[in-house]
Amino acid sequence: MAKDRKPDDSRSARGGSSASRSGTKTSARPTGKGRTRPPTQVVTQPRRPWGLIIAAVVVVLFGVGAITYATVQVHKSNADRVTSPDQISGIKTYDYAAGQQHVSTPVTYTESPPVGGPHDPYWADCTGTVYSVDIRHENAVHALEHGAVWIAYNPDEVSQADIDKLSALVDGQSGRLMSPYAGLDSPISVQSWNHQLKLDSASDKRIKQFADLMTFNSEVKGHYPEIGASCENPDFKANPIVVGQDSSAVGSSDMATTPTATSAP
């Protein structure tokens, strides 16, 4: 009679153990060496436009400098400005009345250069005219009667650089004329009707003060007689009559206001 076989428990056990080994996963403890840190977010700062900033600063500084310079120049100009002949040191005043006679003969003037008195019927152009010749004095006095300022200089005592400096005050300035004056007792003399200032240097600020104050100024004491009269005489400008020449009908003329005198006082 056959015996019943018992199952081989050892095999089952080995098989089960094997199955357990093959079917069950063992979790490994984390060691820390394999961790991955999240990426650090780097915030990038925007780059400053240094070029534009520097350019803006330069523009601002330039503007401030320009304004400062202009302000200084205005203050300087105002500091030299005068409002009365009494504020100009050395100026002399005279008393030639309106209505001086028109004459075509030479006049012996008391002052040299003259500042008033009888004069030629034809005035010297005084529209900012710089003459290179010693113009006839009788024609120049007529320009003074119309409100002009006349700058005369001794050609033997004034350099070309000084002549250029004086010309800058006259050239193109209506109501002014300039000419050499032979035998002048000072290097420079500036005159308007009834006013005169003699100077030694073309750099003297009083020349500009006189010219700025007296040109067409009808408010000062002893001002020029013919307010509103023209300074234009282009024919005389083109063909000026010089000292030593006879009176000649050159360009514009006008009637004497009131002929009350025949010679300078």
Per-residue pLDDT of the chain (265 residues; tens, 9 = 90+): 445 555 555 554 444 444 444 444 554 555 555 566 666 666 666 777 888 889 889 988 888 887 877 665 655 556 778 999 999 999 999 999 988 999 999 999 999 999 999 999 999 999 999 999 999 999 999 999 999 999 999 999 999 999 999 999 999 999 999 999 999 999 999 999 999 999 999 999 999 999 999 999 988 888 898 999 999 999 999 999 999 999 999 987 876 655 444 334 4
The pLDDT, as a whole number, for residue 135 is 98
- Estimate the crossing angle of helix 205-214 against helix 50-80, to 10 degrees: 80
188-192 and 195-199 strand pairing: antiparallel
Q: Do 197 and 88 meet the contact criterion of CB atoms below 8 Å apart? A: yes
Q: Residue 36 contacts by C-beta under 8 Å, 6 or more apart in sequence? A: none
The pLDDT, as a whole number, for residue 45 is 66
The pLDDT, as a whole number, for residue 64 is 83
- Estimate the crossing angle of helix 160-170 against helix 205-214, to 10 degrees: 30
149-153 and 176-180 strand pairing: parallel
Q: SS3 of 108, please?
A: coil
127-130 and 195-199 strand pairing: unpaired
46-71: buried (b, 16+ CB within 10 Å) or exposed (e) per residue?
eeeeeeeeeeeeeeeeeeeeeeeeee
What are the CA-CA distances from residue 108 to residues 113, 127, 232, 243, 262 (Å)?
Answer: 11, 26, 26, 13, 11
Q: Residue 106 contacts by C-beta under 8 Å, 6 or more apart in sequence? A: 138
pTM for this one? 0.69
The pLDDT, as a whole number, for residue 47 is 75
